[in-house]
């Protein structure tokens, strides 16, 4: 099968490394022609994970997104959710016919507040059986240094999820498969919100003892939300899922604790007094937890799950609640 990746950031670059380390040819879409030329000349992405070198004989690089999709049987979508509609707006409605779509997005689309599979079904008629997800816990920086990491591939067609996972499995990447595309995606969104909160707490000089209690409560809140939203979506086997596994709890823990976490870094800046706009300008990467906090808040107006921590983080980021006041409020929520 021909594999394509849409996106040129750190996570897309890490996924490209896994695929090409296995000797597979890769069709790879970048927005910027200069970056394409630099990768071909220097054999690495000059903007992200520059320590990762590629065999350029395995790369078919292009700035034409339609060209990359057409050439691929498996299309890995790794564009930040905020920018995805702009990238897809001009695509023909049948562009994904016969393709397997793999989401590496850990966010909610703006304005519509949809997961990628919902957007693709509505806009392009993509069947859920042709849709899969890649979720962590896995930081791109540790992939670059080939430290052992685990990825979960989810799909309602579990046999195909296993086949897709094989393209990414290396001596430094172990793969797990699951049928839960809904819970895995929403968990990835929620953990980014809680990681922003963990960063704010660090910026406000709360210690590790507090953070451990905060994350425990965030984990319980996340499970309440996942059960409620999956019930609303009529997802199968809602009550049979073990939310203590790596794709749920593990990803939450690493995103809240790791210094590689862009959401924790973003939150740390907010806690230290930066405005949202200044923190965004200071960072070279997208912190998905910021738009996700609004997306989850808006979705929750309809499903009404009990998520006071995530709601307070939304207020700090979107309604100008001072960070110290927000965490005084969160203190009273924890047990």
**pLDDT for 137-177, tens place per residue?**
988 899 999 999 999 999 999 999 999 999 999 999 999 99
- Residues near 244 by Cβ (< 8 Å), separated by ≥ 6? none
- Residues near 270 by Cβ (< 8 Å), separated by ≥ 6? 196, 199, 200, 203, 276, 279, 316, 317, 323
pLDDT (average), residues 298-306: 93
Report whether 264 contacts 198 (CB < 8 A): yes
**3-class secondary structure, 80:** coil
Q: Is the pLDDT of residue 66 over 90?
A: yes
Residue (of 253, 200, 180, 179) closest to 222 by Cα position:
253
Question: pLDDT tens digit string along 215-234?
Answer: 999 999 999 999 888 887 76
Residue with tokens 């430290």: 147
CA pseudo-torsion sign 94, 116, 2, 58 = positive
Question: pLDDT tens digit string along 85-144?
Answer: 999 988 999 999 999 999 999 889 988 999 999 999 999 999 999 999 999 898 889 999
The per-residue pLDDT of the chain, averaged, comes to 93
The DSSP letter of residue 250 is I
Domains of the chain as residue ranges with CATH: 3-179 (3.40.50.720), 182-331 (1.10.1040.10)
Q: Is the pLDDT of residue 29 over 90?
A: yes
Residue 252 to residue 122: CA distance in whole angstroms: 30
Residue with tokens 């540790």: 142
Q: Is the pLDDT of residue 238 over 70?
A: no
Question: How many residues in total does the chain contain?
Answer: 335
Interhelix angle 289-303/181-203, nearest 10 degrees: 120
pLDDT (average), residues 2-10: 95
Q: What are the φ/ψ torsions at residue 101 (nearest 5 degrees)?
A: -105, 130
Q: Is the pLDDT of residue 57 over 90?
A: yes
Residue (of 113, 124, 49) closest to 81 by Cα position:
113
Q: What is the pLDDT of residue 236?
A: 63
Interhelix angle 323-331/181-203, nearest 10 degrees: 110
């Amino acid at each position: 099968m021909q594999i394509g990746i849409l996106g040129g950031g750190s996570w897309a670059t890490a996924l490209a490394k896994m695929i090409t380390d296995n000797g597979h040819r890769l069709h790879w879409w970048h927005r910027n022609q200069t970056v394409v030329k630099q990768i071909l000349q220097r054999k690495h992405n000059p903007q992200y994970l520059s320590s990762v070198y590629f065999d350029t004989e395995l790369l078919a690089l292009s700035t034409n997104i339609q060209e990359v999709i057409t050439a691929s049987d498996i299309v890995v979508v790794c564009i930040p959710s905020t920018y995805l509609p702009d990238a897809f707006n001009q695509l023909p409605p049948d562009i994904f016919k016969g393709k397997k779509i793999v989401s590496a997005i850990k966010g909610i689309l703006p304005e519509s507040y949809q997961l990628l599979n919902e957007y693709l079904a509505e806009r392009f008629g993509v069947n859920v059986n042709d849709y899969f997800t890649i979720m962590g816990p896995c930081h791109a920086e540790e992939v670059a240094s080939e430290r052992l990491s685990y990825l979960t591939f989810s799909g309602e067609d579990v046999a195909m999820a296993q086949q897709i996972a094989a393209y990414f499995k290396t001596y430094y990447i172990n793969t797990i498969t699951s049928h839960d595309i809904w819970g895995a995606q929403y968990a990835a969104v929620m953990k980014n919100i809680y990681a922003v909160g963990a960063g704010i707490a660090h910026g406000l000089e709360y210690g590790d003892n507090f953070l451990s209690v905060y994350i425990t409560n965030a984990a319980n809140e996340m499970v309440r939300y996942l059960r409620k939203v999956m019930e609303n979506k009529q997802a199968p086997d809602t009550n049979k899922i073990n939310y203590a596994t790596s794709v749920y709890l593990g990803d939450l823990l690493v995103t809240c604790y790791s210094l590689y976490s862009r959401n924790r870094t973003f939150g740390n800046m907010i806690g230290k007094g930066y405005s949202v706009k200044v923190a965004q300008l200071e960072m070279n990467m997208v912190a998905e937890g910021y738009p996700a906090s609004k997306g989850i808040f808006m979705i929750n107006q309809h499903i009404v799950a009990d998520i006071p921590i995530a709601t307070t983080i939304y207020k700090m980021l979107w309604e100008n609640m001072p960070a110290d006041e927000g965490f005084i409020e969160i203190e009273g929520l924890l047990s």
